[in-house]
Structure formats: C-alpha cells, structure tokens
Amino acid sequence: MNVTRPTIMEIDLNAFEHNVNEIQKYIGNDIKIMAIIKANAYGTQINTLLDIVNKFDIVGVAFVDEGVLLRELGYKKEIFVLNQPYENEIENIAKYNLTVGISSSNFVDSLGKNINNFNVHIEIGTGMGRTGINPYKVKEYIEKVKEYSNIKVDGIYTHLSSADIDKEYTEKQLYSFEIAVKEAKEILGNLKYIHAGASNGILYFKESHYNLVRPGIILYGYKSAIDTYDYINIKPVAKLKSKITLLKTVKENTSIGYGRSFVTNRETKVATIPIGYADGFRRSNSNKGYVLINGKKASVIGNVCMDSIMVDVTDIEEIKLWDDVYIWDNENITVEEIAEINETINHEILSTISYRVPRRFI
C-alpha cells in the first residue's frame, strides 16, 4: 500500500545499532544480549526487520503469537517467550520451535504429555509477585520436569521488580535467585542461559548479568530510570511527527473541540493536526499537552479527537500549511515529558502508538 498519511513514526536504525553496541560494551563481550522485541519492539516495529533481528542469537517476546510472527518472517534462531503460555498454544510452540518460560506444574504436565519436544527456561519468583516458582522449591519443580523426557531445561531466570529504586529489595531478589541457580545446577549441571537483568538490572546490578541480559527500553534509547543517561550513552530511536493540515483564525470566545472544553480568550490562530487518540496520542493530553512546530511549543487546545488535535499557533511566526509537527523529537519534547503529562511511563507512550501510524525506517 502506498502510504500517504502525514502522521508517521520515524525510526533511526543507526541509533538502534548504536544502542546495541553500547549495551554490549557495558556488559562485556562474554555476555549475550536477548533483544526484547515484544509489543512490536516497543512500538517501533523493528521486530519486522529480519536483517536487524538476525543480528541477535536470541530474542525475547511476550506471547506465542509474537514468536509465530517472527518465525513466519524468517527468523531461524532462538525465540524465548517470557510469559508462560496457555495450554491451547502448545501446538504452535512445537510447530514454530519456540522456547518458553514455565512456572506452573499443570503446564509442565501438558507439555510432557505432548508428543513433541520442548525447550524451556524455569522462571523463579523472587519478588515480582507476578509469576515464577518459589525459589526454595526449585528441586521439587525440576524433579517434576525431569519426569518428562521431551522437556529440556535450557535456562533459569527471574524478574527484578525495583532495580532502579530499591537496592536492598533487589539484593534480596538476587540472593534468592542465586540459591535457586545453585540448586538447579546441582540437579541439571551447567545451564545454557541464566538471566535476571532487564534494563535497570543491567545498569545498576552487574551481578544480575550472569551470561544473558534482557534489555528492553534502553535498547530503543529511552530512559529506564531518571539517571539512565548517566550510566550509558544511548540514543532514542523514534520520532513521532505529523503536519499541519488546516489553519484558521477564530475570534475570542470561540469554543474548540468536543464538549467545548476550551474557549478562546483572544483572537487565536488554530492548527489542526491529523493525529488523535486512536493513534496513541492519549485523550489525557487535552488542554495540557503540546507539540513542536518550527522549534516552538504549541499547546493542545480542546479535547483530543479520535483522529485529530487542535493546537494554538498564534505566537508562532511564519506558520503555514504542511509545516512539520513533532509530537516528540527527543530533544525539545521527549517521550518522558509526554509520559509525565499523562501520568504514566515512557514504555506505555511508545508501545501504544497504533498500527495505523506508518513507521518509516531511516
């Protein structure tokens, strides 16, 4: 399809490669990177570029369907499904040769009774409070897995919940994980993969690196914590941009948008921009968000519509139709600023930019 829409997400692949190199430099060459490309590679759709993902020996996805998509694209190396799948996905796990995280006895039984062979990583619940087995029940769980000759344990892993804000709690998690790792090794011998560190674990706890790390948000050049850029030299890969498609001047006391939530208090020049909440520009930006036009910030006025927003450009000189509009440019407006306005985190802002916004790779 020939894309004509002026609203696009622009993805800098050189910045992505730079980030991979900086992460590898930070962890050392003896440790592998599992590139986390779930949620359409945090909204960037880099996961659809086979020449990019082929540079990794192992990648991480959230769900079986994400792994299937990658296999159908042509990726032949290891795909790890971070979240324990559902029983009705076992057929696709086998068909598409996916490695899965497990922490349920029932799911082990379902795998074991299947005619296919499976590779798994055992997830240890050290304090995330989500999934994972009790670290003090590793022996019992592994013995259950060993009942089935078609299940091979390739790895063991955990999730650190608070590596950026709670050193003591994270150290307790790593202590529990280390107990589990030692017990697993006693039973299984050396494991192919041992992993605990996602973005914040990588930066703050080198002891979490083991022989594999799982960078997520930092792979795309965005902050995993307030001081991320003090630790590692990474570059944001994505810019979200559009264009002015309508300009008009309205009188004082003119209402703008649904619900008349904004009424002008002066003669106002209004620009309409074709991006809305169906694109991922959240409705909570209404009357408090802003965009960048000709190097200046322009306030969102009125409620964000499904397909468009209106902004006040009265004070921007030489404004004209089709001028570029940056929702974020990573310098004058950052994803983190937008996240703060919307009382959320940068992960959510990036990953919820919808499919109908074309991605342009540069």
Nearest CA to 129 out of 173, 63, 186 is that of 173
Residues 6+ apart with CB under 8 A from 81: 60, 61, 62, 63, 64, 66, 67, 93, 98, 99, 100, 101
Residue 278 burial (10 A CB sphere; 0-12, 13-18, 19+): middle
State how far Cα 297 lies from the chain centre: 27
Domain presence at residue 23: no
Contact yes or no for 191/156 (Cβ under 8 A): yes
Say yes or no: 123 and 215 in one domain.
Answer: yes
The radius of gyration computed from the CA coordinates of the chain, to the nearest angstrom, equals 24
Residues of the chain with pLDDT under 70: 1
Say yes or no: 246 and 274 in one domain.
Answer: yes
Which two structure tokens, joined as six digits, stand for 8?
A: 């696009």
Query: Which are the catalytic amino acids?
Result: 38, 258
Q: Please report, as a single letter, which amino acid is at residue 174.
A: L
Domain presence at residue 86: yes
Say yes or no: 54 and 142 in one domain.
Answer: yes
Domain presence at residue 2: no
pLDDT at position 1: 61
Say yes or no: 303 and 339 in one domain.
Answer: yes
Domain presence at residue 11: no
Range of the domain at 59: 31-220
- What is d(CA 351, CA 362) in angstroms, rounded to the nearest whole number? 19
Domain presence at residue 6: no
Domain presence at residue 69: yes
Question: What letter would DSSP give residue 303?
Answer: P
Domain presence at residue 7: no
pLDDT tens sequence across 34-70: 999 999 999 999 999 999 999 999 999 999 999 999 9
Domain presence at residue 66: yes
